[in-house]
Amino acid sequence: MASLRLPRLIRAPGRRLYSAAASPSSRLNLPIDYKSTPLLHHTSSTLSESLELPGSATSKSMNLYQAINSALRTALTKSEKVMLFGEDVAFGGVFRCSMDLQTEFGSERVFNTPLTEQGIVGFAIGAAAQGMKPVAEIQFADYVFPAFDQIVNEAAKFRYREGATGVHAGGMVVRMPCGAVGHGALYHSQSPEALFAHVPGVQVVVPRSPSQAKGLLLASIFEHNNPVIFMEPKCLYRAAVEHVPNEYYTIPLSKAEVLKPGNDVTIVSYGQPLYLCSAAIAAAEKALGVSVELIDLRTIYPWDRQTVLDSVKKTGRAIVVHESMINYGVGAEVAATIQDQAFLRLEAPVKRVAGWSTHTGLQYEKFILPDVARIYDAIKQSIEY
Amino acid sequence: MSAYLLRRISRNPRVLSRIPQRWSSSISQRPGSDRVRFPGAVNSKFTTDMAFINPSEMTHIPTYRVMDSDGVLLDKNRKPAGVSNEEILTWYKNMLTVSVMDVIMFEAQRQGRLSFYMVSAGEEGISVGSAAALTPDDVVFAQYRETGVFQQRGFTLKDFMSQLFANCHDNGRGRNMPVHYGSNYPRMHTISSPLATQIPQASGAAYALKLESLQNPDTPPRIVTCYFGEGAASEGDFHAGLNIAATRSCPVVFICRNNGYAISTPTLEQYRGDGIASRGVGYGIDTIRVDGNDIFAVYEAMREARRIALSDGGKPVLIEAMSYRVSHHSTSDDSFAYRARVEVEDWKRRDNPIIRLRKWLENEGLWDEDTERTTREQLRKEVLKEFGEAEREKKPPLREAFEGVYEELTEEAQEQMKELKRILETYPEEYDLRQFKDGINGL
């Protein structure tokens, strides 16, 4: 093991040799400083200002994986029907999300499955159809495709085809780490939310922060009787740290959140790119003297069209930002809806800032995915149109 | 799964030592032992004889049967199955009902009165015989050629016909193709067309039953039964479902109907091993092969499989029931395009689960030609009566097209319903709504 650790010692601090470094002259594309971003509750005092979070007496500073772990612990405590399984879940999970849960709740409710994604999701559907609340983990969203048939043809259609028997698989949640991490290349970077958003019958959720992840995950398990695809931006697992209420609380699905009010442009995004949007907005507001409204979609489908339309009708301009490919992505649906229902209020074409229509080649990630410069540029172009 | 993961673990070796699990690899190799102690095979003997295992040289798994094709018990000292004659007569009538309904509905499809149908000819014994060994609390996942399971578990002719005509009494709300039956209790999950998807689902449902009885010891012991054909067993979901059932010790009985064909594909193009049964052994699952034309053998195997499934806190079992698909695959298939008519005729004449049981009943003095004729005529009348009534019933209201996608109608769906209504009102001559309950107001 010592030899494996050696490269860490010689690596320059804060710089990773295997991912393209920021340009030394960068003014926009700087690393996100999660310690100062306005999107996170750095102290417990701001928690109570958030309408959806409980004004909790007790909260704890935690990162995203710890918040997921806290949500899962809360869920397993709250109901005996909750069970947790997937590949390598028992020892704590490869991202530590299920840490200590098998010890606390037993190997009957928290366990490893054989390495088979279609089996994991099929197993979850069967358990849910019998009234359980299975929380299945797919190790990386990139590996969900073997389970695509089970999700699309089975989980999503279960209630519809059962009809009057009243049987459904609504108790299930499929969690999966998603998104880029700087060096995940083709199969540890994907964000397949748009593929699931094309499937009636499932709800698709992407949280942006620890406090949100806990509330949305608990709502997915307990408050929505539909199969939920819960995608966790894995680069936030350790990076995003904020105060999270200790108690049980939920955040409603299919409801967007206006993160920052503004008058001139609306930016719609979700997950990790929200931090890039926030940085780009700060730069644009300073340099261009504009006022930008930032909306976190949170639930990709069925999505909160009203909040987005209300905002665009006010600002007259819209930009949609996401990591996954621009072609047929979430931005296409949002832009088309805006065009259809806010046409007369639009003062510029709806812009989409998203991943290029290619694969995430290892060395090219920084050039393929949206960054602060591209979002900044989109704001500028929209304003100047 | 991934190199990424390996790297994560190697960077953080401490996590490995915290795993609260039994480590088969910790069994150390004793000096001079005659066995290998690799973690992946803890009880394998060493050999210096380099011999590949050749499947063709292995003894094939035998087929369990209780009576021969003349309906004569092979062990004459034993009463078949340990069930009453009355019960055996209901099995016979249930097989007959399925068979009579099949002929009528197949013809109805040919006349264009039904969009689609699939008969069970030759396989009635497997479904009726196995279902007879279940309790109403047991849960069934089926493929589509298990009409006898529904019949045996109380599905009525009205239920069948409502589903086939997708009318307003259909459990599936007119959403599914014919033959995709479903019932809440006794629970038989609504059939879905994608093959083998129900196999891992059955494992998950069985695990839920096991957990439920652990958490609430007062619940009656229950198992899940999962049916599929030998063709479906080639799907990845078969592998996933059996493997996960074995590793999680699920009380589930898998029943493979091996009828020789998957549409046009004969078994020689489906697999080269010893059928499906030989695979069960590979997954560490208790396995048996039975004569699917012998309803006593199927019933007895299922009854014992149910007992095994509930033993040791839960255990999967595999039954491979051999039979022959006498009919076409479906109404969309003409099987004489890929197999000889004479082969089918031969099977029809030579062996068949209904005729075999009838011979046994006749030998016992429980049945005769007259009873056969009047029973068939009676069943025919009942089927035609329900057929006529179901055909005349209205289809479900149009809103059923949108409801049930989610627990609640989404705002988007409500908008789309409104838009559809506007279209229907603007172009009334383009759509015939008379068939649908409440017409345009059904939206």
Say how many CB pairs under 8 Å bridge A and B.
Answer: 197
Beta strand B252-258 with B317-322 is parallel
Q: Is residue A23 part of a domain?
A: no
A198 as an active site residue: the answer is no
| Contact (CB<8Å) B2/A161 | no
| Residue in B20, B21, B201 nearest the CB of A129 | B201
Whether the Cβ atoms of residue B199 and residue B231 lie closer than 8 Å to each other: no
Question: Distance, in angstroms, between A288 CA and closest chain B CA?
Answer: 37
Active site residues of B: 107, 193, 329-330
A357 burial (CB, 10 Å; 0-12 / 13-18 / 19+) is exposed
Band (pLDDT 50/70/90 cuts) for residue A9 is: very low
| Contact (CB<8Å) B190/A131 | no
Residues contacting A132, CB < 8 A, separation 6+ = A81, A82, A83, A171, B208, B211
Name the nearest CA neighbour of A23 among A354, A372, A358.
Answer: A372
Band (pLDDT 50/70/90 cuts) for residue A107 is: very high
**A293 and A225 within one domain:** no
Whether the Cβ atoms of residue A304 and residue A270 lie closer than 8 Å to each other: no
Q: What is the pLDDT of residue B327?
A: 86
**A228 and A97 within one domain:** yes
- What CATH number has the domain bearing residue A153? 3.40.50.970
What is the tally of structural domains in chain A? Answer: 2
Question: Distance, in angstroms, between A24 CA and closest chain B CA?
Answer: 29
pLDDT in tens, B105-114: 999 999 999 9
The two tokens of residue B422 are 């506007």
Higher-confidence residue of A2 and B321: namely: B321
The answer to whether residue A83 neighbours chain B at the CB level (below 8 Å) is yes
Which H or E element spans position A286?
A: helix A273-288
Band (pLDDT 50/70/90 cuts) for residue B43 is: confident
pLDDT in tens, B365-414: 999 999 999 999 999 999 999 999 999 999 999 999 999 999 999 999 99
pLDDT in tens, A197-223: 999 999 999 999 999 999 999 999 999
Mutation to test the B interface, candidates A94, A109, A123, most B Cβ within 10 Å: A123
- Which residue reads 């539909």 in tokens? A226
- Which residue reads 């999967």 in tokens? B316
**Cα-Cα-Cα-Cα dihedral sign, residues A233, A237, A243, A248:** positive
> Interior CA angle at A92 toward A91 and A97, to 5°?
165
Q: In a 3-state reduction of DSSP, which class is residue A54? A: coil
Q: Is residue A35 part of a domain?
A: no
Higher-confidence residue of B333 and B282: namely: B282
Greatest mean pLDDT range, B33-37, B81-85, B287-291: B287-291
Q: Is residue A11 part of a domain?
A: no
Q: What is the pLDDT of residue A3?
A: 42
Residue A215 DSSP one-character state: H
Chain B residues inside the 8 Å CB shell of A139: 1-2, 5
The answer to whether residue A306 neighbours chain B at the CB level (below 8 Å) is yes
| Contact (CB<8Å) B171/A305 | no
Q: Is residue A312 part of a domain?
A: yes
Whether the Cβ atoms of residue A321 and residue A268 lie closer than 8 Å to each other: yes
Whether the Cβ atoms of residue B295 and residue B131 lie closer than 8 Å to each other: no
pLDDT in tens, A300-338: 999 999 999 999 999 999 999 999 999 999 999 999 999
| Domain end (from A179, A214, A245) | A245
| Contact (CB<8Å) B2/A127 | no
The size of chain A, in residues, is 385
What's the CATH number of domain B57-392, 3.40.1440.10, 3.40.50.1820, 2.60.40.1120, 3.40.50.970? 3.40.50.970
pLDDT in tens, B179-195: 999 999 999 999 999 99
Higher-confidence residue of A135 and A48: namely: A135
d(CA A191, CA A323): 7
Q: What is the pLDDT of residue A6?
A: 43
The answer to whether residue A127 neighbours chain B at the CB level (below 8 Å) is yes
The answer to whether residue A237 neighbours chain B at the CB level (below 8 Å) is no
Name the residue ranges covered by the structural domains of chain B.
Answer: 57-392, 398-442
| Contact (CB<8Å) B194/A164 | no
Question: Distance, in angstroms, between A356 CA and closest chain B CA?
Answer: 24
Q: Is the pLDDT confidence value at B236 over 60? A: yes
Q: Is the pLDDT confidence value at B3 over 80? A: no
Q: Cis ω on the peptide bond leading into residue A146 (within 30° of 0)?
A: no
Q: Report, as an integer, the average pLDDT of B347-364.
A: 92
Question: Distance, in angstroms, between B69 CA and closest chain A CA?
Answer: 38
Q: What is the pLDDT of residue A49?
A: 79
- Which residue reads 């959140």 in tokens? A257
**A371 and A307 within one domain:** yes
| Domain end (from A185, A212, A245) | A245
Q: Is residue A368 part of a domain?
A: yes
Q: In a 3-state reduction of DSSP, which class is residue B10? A: helix
Q: What is the pLDDT of residue B290?
A: 98
Q: Is the pLDDT confidence value at B25 over 70? A: no
Task: Spell B408-436 as b/e; 16+ CB within 10 A means b.
Answer: ebbebbeeebeebeeebeeeeeeeebeeb
How much is the CA Rg of chain B, to the nearest whole Å?
A: 26
The two tokens of residue A304 are 């909160």
Tell me what percent of the residues of chain B surpass a pLDDT of 90: 79
Q: Is residue A7 part of a domain?
A: no
The answer to whether residue A254 neighbours chain B at the CB level (below 8 Å) is yes
Residues contacting B327, CB < 8 A, separation 6+ = B102, B106, B119, B120, B121, B122, B335
Q: Report, as an integer, the average pLDDT of B81-92.
A: 93
**A233 and A89 within one domain:** yes
**Cα-Cα-Cα-Cα dihedral sign, residues A49, A55, A57, A59:** negative
Chain A residues inside the 8 Å CB shell of B13: 1
Q: What is the pLDDT of residue B9?
A: 44
**DSSP secondary structure string for all residues of A166-178:** ----TT-EEEEEE
Q: Chain-centre distance of CA B293, in angstroms?
A: 16
Q: Is residue A234 part of a domain?
A: yes
| Residue in A5, A125, A159 nearest the CB of B201 | A125
| Domain end (from A245, A274, A299) | A245
Whether the Cβ atoms of residue A67 and residue A230 lie closer than 8 Å to each other: no
Q: Which residue of chain A is at minimal alpha-carbon distance from B8?
A: A94
Whether the Cβ atoms of residue B350 and residue B69 lie closer than 8 Å to each other: yes
| Contact (CB<8Å) B237/A150 | yes
Question: Distance, in angstroms, between A165 CA and closest chain B CA?
Answer: 5
The two tokens of residue A55 are 């004004």
Q: Work out the mean pLDDT of chain B and round it to a whole number.
A: 92
Q: Report, as an integer, the average pLDDT of B341-350.
A: 83
**A230 and A162 within one domain:** yes
B372 burial (CB, 10 Å; 0-12 / 13-18 / 19+) is middle
ipTM for this prediction? 0.93
d(CA A380, CA A284): 7
d(CA A247, CA B250): 34
**Ordered alpha helix ranges (H), B120-235:** 124-131, 147-152, 157-164, 198-215
Q: Is the pLDDT confidence value at A16 over 80? A: no
Q: Is the pLDDT confidence value at B12 over 60? A: no
- What CATH number has the domain bearing residue A308? 3.40.50.920
d(CA A62, CA B99): 64
Instruction: Tell me the residue range of the domain where A203 lies.
Output: 44-245
| Residue in B9, B182, B205 nearest the CB of A127 | B205
Q: Estimate the share of chain A in helix, then strand, then coil, as percent rounded to the nearest 5.
A: 40, 20, 40
Band (pLDDT 50/70/90 cuts) for residue A45 is: confident
| Contact (CB<8Å) B183/A165 | yes
